Each structure stands twice: as C-alpha cells, then as structure tokens.
Structure 1
C-alpha cells in the first residue's frame, strides 16, 4: 500500500477551504475553512498556507497512527490571472494577493515546508490549477457526457470546456484558454454580468433595495416569496446567460452544460432559459450544487493522472 498523503486546498481571496484525500477518498470529516489573509504581506500569506498544510499533515499522522509518510502531494486552486504550470501569481489591482504578484508561490511554499522538516521520506509535490477546471474534471468523471461546458458563478465567472475529461485550452469554437470571463459582452465583459456583483447590479435596476437585500441569497428568498422585482432579476439573468452561451453551444456542441458555484443554488430561479436553449440543441443544462466536493475530486484526479 502506497504511503502517500494528498491534501487539497481551494484558495479564495477571503477563505481557504481544505481537506485530506486518502486513497482517492475525500475525507469529508476533515473539510475545514480558514481565513486566507490575502490583504497581508507576502510572508504572512505564505506562512498561513504553511500552517494550514501542517495542520492537515499532522492530523493525518495522528488519525492514522503514523510517524511519517513517503510522499506529500498538495493541490491548490488559486484565483487568476495565474500561471498554473509554473505557480506564479499575476493577481493585481483587486486588493487581494497584491504582495504575491509575480512571485513563484510553489517555490515559496515548498521552501517553508522543507524548513519545517515535516517527516516526509521522499518528496513534496505542489500543483496549482484553476478552480473551475478542477470542478469540471471532478464532474466529468461522474457524468457519462463526453463534452462539457462547466461554469462556476460566484465572485466571478469560471469556465471550462472538457472533452473526455480533458481540459481544452486552445481549440476552435471556444475562447482562449477556455476562459469566458474576459469575453466582451454588452458594454463590458462577461465577468461583470455573470457574477454576484452582476446580479446585485441587475437587481438594483429591477427595483430591489440592495441596501437591504445585499446578497444573492437574500434576493433568492425574495423571489421564492413571489417578489416581482426579485423574480424579474433571476429571469433576466437566466435569459442573458443563455444568450451569452448559445454561440459556444453551437460551436462546441457539448453533451451537457453544468453550473456550479454559489449561484447554482438558485438554478431553479434562473435556469429555465438555459434549459430551453439546451433542449433546442438536444443537450441538457444542470446544476451541481456541491462545487467544493467536485473541485477536491478534480485535484485528486490530476495527481492520479500524473502518476499513470
């Protein structure tokens, strides 16, 4: 039996969520949420990552009565722009991770873990990837569909185009890198419309008092109470989402469209238009509400694929 440990971290600007994965099983009882402290200096941010990793590492040793392991694999999602292959952050001008700009985060975390002298006999491997891509990889293993368009809608819009579980980055019919967020839409870009801030702005234009109802959850609860401005907000959001996606449905011809992220919980309020467009193309549009689970699953899969 291989003496390896897999840790998964989903890094956000406010919180970092993590878990232990043991022999390809996500140990849901180990899932924890930590403050990221992305507004602090580089040492503070990086040392916080080190402490989170150490905490999971020693928890695993205690729970399994081990003194050491042979190999430690750590998979992290990280907000973009980011060079996921090299581990370099290019996040700038958003008030988060400013201190890590152009820094090789893989080398910095590894340096701190080696200095901590964790009882790892062989090696420590660190990989980074976009959270929506990992969500897509995790989902694709469960669904029988070969070609997927996956979206995660939250602080921004994440997107991934997959064929047989493989992420597509440069192919005719999809945006560069598979990233929809920066595609021009109306008077701005996609990210400004299909995100939490996009919904709040839309809700305000429909007459919702966003000083009082200032979260998507608040507006969704209003909609469930048959509040007309709130219902119109989600209906318009869904119509615009379908309109934005239809050219990619036509050019990529997916088998399924999968929605994840915080806003997926309100799919019953905005999904009708997207499902209608999908049906016209003989495909299906669905919501997968446990985004974090599939993201962690994706982290495990990319390491497993490296080993094969």
Structure 2
C-alpha cells in the first residue's frame, strides 16, 4: 500500500537533495538542495537534517494552502497522521538500526557510532512537527539500493540488477520489486563495490576514479581532465577517447556478467552521473553482455527514482 506522505532525503558528502513524495508521486516543485555540513560536529549535522525536514514541512503546508483557497492559516491538515522520513546515507552504515560507522572518509566523521535515527527523532519530537503529526517514522538505506527499488517500479515483474556509476559503484538486486540481499545468487548484502576485479575492487574500476585511471594510463594528453571533459572529447569524435569509453564498457560487462548469470537477471538498469555517458560506453557493455540476453537501459533521472525508492521503504 502506498504511503500518503514521505519526506525523502538523499544525503551526500557535499549536499543533501530532498523532496516530498505524496502517494507515490514525487512533487517536483519541492525538490531542493542543501549543504550537508558533513565535516562539522554531530550537533551541526543533526540540526541541519532537522532544518531540511522542517523546510519540507513548510513547503508542503504552503502547497496545501495554495491549493485550497478557503483554508485558513491555522488549519492543520496533517493532524492525526503519521509522517515518514526516509534518508539515503553513505556507508558504512547500519541501515536497520540507524547507526553510522563512517570513518576515515573525510565526511560524517563526527557521527561514528552515533544512532542517527535516535538523535534526529529526538530533535523532531522537540520541534513543531511533533505538534502537528501523530507519529514520526524514520528509515535509512543505501542510495544504490533505493535507486534500484524506485526504478523497479517501472518493471514490476522483472529480475533486475540496478547499478549506479559515480564516485563509486552502487548496486541492487531486485526480484519483482523486492530487494534481494542474501542467498547463493547474489554477493553478500547485494554489494558489488567491494568485489574483486583485476587485482583491485570494483569501486576503483567502475567509477569516476576508474575512468580517470583508464585515461591517465594511456596518454598524458588527457591528464587533468575530468569525466565530463573526456566525454565531450569522445562525443566530439576524438577516436582514442571514444575507444577508451568503449573499453570501459567492455570491462564493466566482463565484471557484471557472472552476477547477471547467477541472479538470472533479465534487465540491467544504470543510473548515476556516469550513466549520462552511456552512449559512449554502452557499445562495449552490449558487446560483453549480448549472449546473456539481458536488456540494458540507462535511466536519466536517477534522483527521481531514488526518491521513489525512499517512499517505497514505507510501503506495507
């Protein structure tokens, strides 16, 4: 059953992107971006998360007042309702209990060992929010999983491997709308980032870092460029840049093939910043995966699907 109202926060090391999801629909005019203050103290970070949630509340109140002209300013439209707050959070993080174990990553260091759910709930219970709603529910999950969970709504009957490519590789194995994290057909917890590949980890190979290393290893001409500039070169018919993106796709296909086979996935969904270069690496990826029969698709708006995935955390 779709939850009526979800405040969705996608927490990153630099920014927090947030929106309101009402009855399974993202309210696009509420999508906002805030500073994460990830290098600040525990108190500053928790207070910022509280402030973001309260700002979403104000936006929602404003929307409702504008849509019902007869409504007075004092009308409380959320009275006796529960509000759900879902957050994607970087790992390592105990998503079930809400405890952060992030350390030595230059972000959220002050939250190490802190029960973020308890701290945030305490702040919200002392805020105006607790005077308006009957109950406050808070859930956490990995952003890669929630991208996959949200995107799987488009393909409710499929077995899906969903990946995000950006600063690292995120992943989710989805069987007809349900995240699979255990069993012989998936890696531990459904994570690909820590899987071995060519003497290192997938996170080092299939990410921004991986693309930059691939280019740096072949020609100093590309030194100092980021993925965006490299993709522009490839789209501008630089033959070497084009071939290197094809090689990246082939390497990704080689890595993913055993996981697709084991899970018997019939669809591969790709999101994240690097998915915007799919036209460049998609050829190589198809070359390596065509015999598996898997359907491959890059989704443009990963954030939208992540917000949908956040709302699905509260489905019953």
User: How high is the TM-score relative to the length of structure 2?
Assistant: 0.91
In structure 2, the residue matched to 1:29 is: 29
Kindly indicate whether the alpha-carbon contact (under 8 Å) linking 1:84 and 1:130 is maintained by their aligned counterparts in 2.
Answer: yes
In structure 2, the residue matched to 1:57 is: 57
RMSD across aligned positions (CA): 1.7
| Counterpart among 249, 268, 289 of residue 257 in structure 1 | 268
In structure 1, the residue matched to 2:159 is: 147
Query: Residue 188 of structure 1: CA displacement?
Result: 1.2
Give yes or no for the alignment of 1:243 onto 2:254: yes
Higher relative contact order (CA 8 A, sep 6+): 2
Q: Note the residue ranges of structure 1 that are not aligned, 5 or more in a row.
A: none
CA distance in 1, matches of 2:97, 2:167: 25
Q: Note the residue ranges of structure 2 that are not aligned, 5 or more in a row.
A: 66-74
User: How high is the TM-score relative to the length of structure 1?
Assistant: 0.94
Residue aligned with 1:125, SS: strand
Query: Residue 271 of structure 1: CA displacement?
Result: 1.2
Query: Residue 229 of structure 1: CA displacement?
Result: 3.3
Residue aligned with 1:51, SS: helix
Give yes or no for the alignment of 1:158 onto 2:170: yes
Query: Residue 120 of structure 1: CA displacement?
Result: 2.5
CA distance in 1, matches of 2:43, 2:203: 31
CA distance in 1, matches of 2:51, 2:240: 46
CA distance in 2, matches of 1:239, 1:208: 22
In structure 2, the residue matched to 1:228 is: 239
In structure 2, the residue matched to 1:67 is: 76
Give yes or no for the alignment of 1:122 onto 2:134: yes
Give yes or no for the alignment of 1:277 onto 2:288: yes
Alignment of 1:55-204 (within 5 A): 55-65=55-65, 66-69=75-78, 70-118=81-129, 119-204=131-216
